[in-house]
Amino acid sequence: MATFNLRRGYDIPIAGAPASEVSEAAKPQTVAICPVDFLGIKARPLAEEGQAVKIGTPLASSKDDESHVITSPASGTLKEIRRGHRRVITHLVIACDGKDTAESYARYELAQIAGLGREKVLAQVKASGLLFAFRERPFNSAARPVHTPRDIFISTFDSGPLGVDMNLVVQGREAAFQAGLEVCRALTTGQVHLGVDGKGKNLSKAFTDAKNVQIHRFSGPHPAGNVGTHIHLVAPVKKRNDVVWTTTVAGVIRLGTLFLEGRVDPSTLVAVSGSAATERKHVRTVLGAPVKTILGGKAPDGDVRYISGNVLTGAKVSVDDYLHYYDNLLTVIPEATHAEFNGWMLPGGGKDSWYRIFLGKLVPGKRFQKDTRLGGGHRAMVFTGQYEAVTPIDVLPGFLYKSILANDIEEMEGLGIYEVVEEDIALCEYICPSKTDFQKVLRAGIRLIEKEG
């Protein structure tokens, strides 16, 4: 139950925050689950194309464990098993029949969940496909059923650029949220930790008054809301087999609904943000919804980039693509199109920067339109202490980066590669004037460790 005031970090003053009003999206014609979102899992299909499926029907399973299943988020038919590079399944596309027929599971009262015991709870979570609501640290892999997590961490606020308002996500679902917390408690041998916004106003009582969990308050600039920051400050990951599970507010609500109502609830709240989006809002839709459905049929003009997730860590998607499993944010920003004459020489009144080298810094509270411009050439990394200044955890990102380039596993371990994933060092990548590719290199370092042990 601690309070943390974080000074290091940076809130990018990007324009395009989503409005608070919630609207209903149209029922989608197709939805898709992307097994590539589940890191460390090789998916093998269990269902065939053309097969009729209900919500909760297993579609595919992990190659290592057939009982670890990916289930359908909609009822209808399995339209397509789309494969990509090296025959890896990229999409499991379901054509929706709109009926929402679902598999049913055992139902319990809130008070009963705690007494069920780990095995029973894990079995139901696994069978419903909701084990994928959990990700593991180190490395942000999909949670493996053979691992018993030492703790479970949930962040209740998204401090990332143009992030979704979790208080809206949980509004009306407070009972399910508390039940979900009980499910998490049953799954771990340790504690369930809730990270709450220390400087937020009108926080949901579901967060601030949550029962049977450890509540910690974090205030400060992004990445104060990152679950990785919370883990480091409360109970850091110590080594490769010190496994901690993380999940989102939406995941917890879904777990709670599974045990209170005996069904998988695929509904979700997605924020549409970004300066290029024609309508910025929160939208109620379903897991795996198409980008077009979330946008609401009004496609933006001009050259834009659709991002499933936020501008720092999200994946580029096309307008015909689907929102990824763990994302509840669709960001739409303009692509860079024109060359700026003498751009780097001019005073830059309209430019934001973490550095104090453009006049735009002199206007406090101003929001800036950001496009996808790289803004410079790739150069060798130059240390001016900038990376540490936006990293609130005790990690030296520049040195970690270099140890990965050097393939020095001992040094990577010593410098904390078990403690960080892409979202924790994305800000370093954002502010780097040499345009260094931190996230790509970090993932390469993680892959090296996974391969070499």
- Distance, C-alpha 80 to centroid of its chain: 25
Q: Does 407 bind other proteins (CB under 8 A)?
A: no
Q: How far apart are the C-alpha atoms of 125 and 129, rounded to whole Å?
A: 6
Output the six-digit token pair for 399.
């040195």
Q: According to CB under 8 A, which one of 36, 95, 110, 431 is a site residue for other proteins? A: 431
C-alpha distances in Å from residue 269, one per residue of 193, 257, 283: 23, 15, 6
Shortest approach of other proteins to residue 86 CB, angstroms? 19
**DSSP-derived 3-state class of residue 117:** coil
Q: Does 14 bind other proteins (CB under 8 A)?
A: yes
Shortest approach of other proteins to residue 342 CB, angstroms? 7
Closer residue to other proteins (CB): 57 or 308: 308
Q: Does 327 bind other proteins (CB under 8 A)?
A: no
Shortest approach of other proteins to residue 403 CB, angstroms? 9
Cis link prior to 236 (omega < 30° from 0)? Answer: no
Q: According to CB under 8 A, which one of 8, 29, 375, 448 is a site residue for other proteins? A: 375
Q: Does 189 bind other proteins (CB under 8 A)?
A: no
Number of neighbouring beta carbons within 10 Å of residue 7: 9
Q: According to CB under 8 A, which one of 136, 182, 327, 429 is a site residue for other proteins? A: 429
**In terms of Cα–Cα distance, which of 227, 310, 213 is closest to 256?**
213
Q: According to CB under 8 A, which one of 305, 327, 404, 446 is a site residue for other proteins? A: 305
**In terms of Cα–Cα distance, which of 43, 78, 40 is closest to 57?**
78
Shortest approach of other proteins to residue 413 CB, angstroms? 9
Q: Using CA atoms of 415, 429, 163, 280 in order, give the dihedral in degrees to the nearest 10.
A: -170
Q: Does 357 bind other proteins (CB under 8 A)?
A: yes
- Per rule CB under 8 A, count of chain residues that contact other proteins: 74
Q: According to CB under 8 A, which one of 170, 234, 311, 420 is a site residue for other proteins? A: 311
Q: How far apart are the C-alpha atoms of 192 and 183, rounded to whole Å?
A: 10
Q: Does 420 bind other proteins (CB under 8 A)?
A: no
Q: Does 111 bind other proteins (CB under 8 A)?
A: no
Q: Does 435 bind other proteins (CB under 8 A)?
A: yes
User: Could you tell me the end-to-end alpha-carbon distance of the chain, in angstroms, rounded to an integer?
Assistant: 35
Residue numbers 202-221 binding other proteins by CB under 8 A: none
Q: Does 380 bind other proteins (CB under 8 A)?
A: yes
Q: According to CB under 8 A, which one of 85, 86, 87, 338 is a site residue for other proteins? A: 338
Shortest approach of other proteins to residue 215 CB, angstroms? 22
Closer residue to other proteins (CB): 307 or 404: 307
Shortest approach of other proteins to residue 118 CB, angstroms? 22
Q: Does 97 bind other proteins (CB under 8 A)?
A: no
**In terms of Cα–Cα distance, which of 181, 187, 194, 114 is closest to 147?**
187
Q: Does 233 bind other proteins (CB under 8 A)?
A: no
Shortest approach of other proteins to residue 448 CB, angstroms? 18
Q: How far apart are the C-alpha atoms of 54 and 32, rounded to whole Å?
A: 14
Q: Does 271 bind other proteins (CB under 8 A)?
A: no
Closer residue to other proteins (CB): 27 or 443: 443
Question: Quick one: three-class SS letters along 413-453?
Answer: HHHCCCCCCHHHHHHHHHHCCCCCCHHHHHHHHHHHHHHHC
C-alpha distances in Å from residue 404, one per residue of 326, 394, 415, 434, 450: 27, 18, 10, 17, 13
**AA identity, residue 156:** T
Q: Does 8 bind other proteins (CB under 8 A)?
A: no
Q: Using CA atoms of 275, 221, 387, 39 in order, give the dihedral in degrees to the nearest 10.
A: -70
Q: Does 319 bind other proteins (CB under 8 A)?
A: no
Shortest approach of other proteins to residue 11 CB, angstroms? 13
Q: How far apart are the C-alpha atoms of 267 and 221, rounded to whole Å?
A: 30
Q: According to CB under 8 A, which one of 174, 372, 408, 409 is a site residue for other proteins? A: 372
Q: Does 190 bind other proteins (CB under 8 A)?
A: no
Shortest approach of other proteins to residue 46 CB, angstroms? 33
- Using the contact rule CB under 8 A, the part of the chain among 29-37, 120-128, 131-139, 394-402 near other proteins is 394-402
Q: Which residues contact 410 (CB under 8 A, 6 or more apart)?
A: none
**DSSP-derived 3-state class of residue 69:** strand
Shortest approach of other proteins to residue 376 CB, angstroms? 3
Shortest approach of other proteins to residue 424 CB, angstroms? 13
Closer residue to other proteins (CB): 344 or 407: 344
Q: Does 384 bind other proteins (CB under 8 A)?
A: yes
What sign results for the dihedral spanned by CA atoms 188, 185, 253, 333? negative
Q: According to CB under 8 A, which one of 39, 190, 353, 450 is a site residue for other proteins? A: 353
**In terms of Cα–Cα distance, which of 215, 190, 183 is closest to 2?**
215
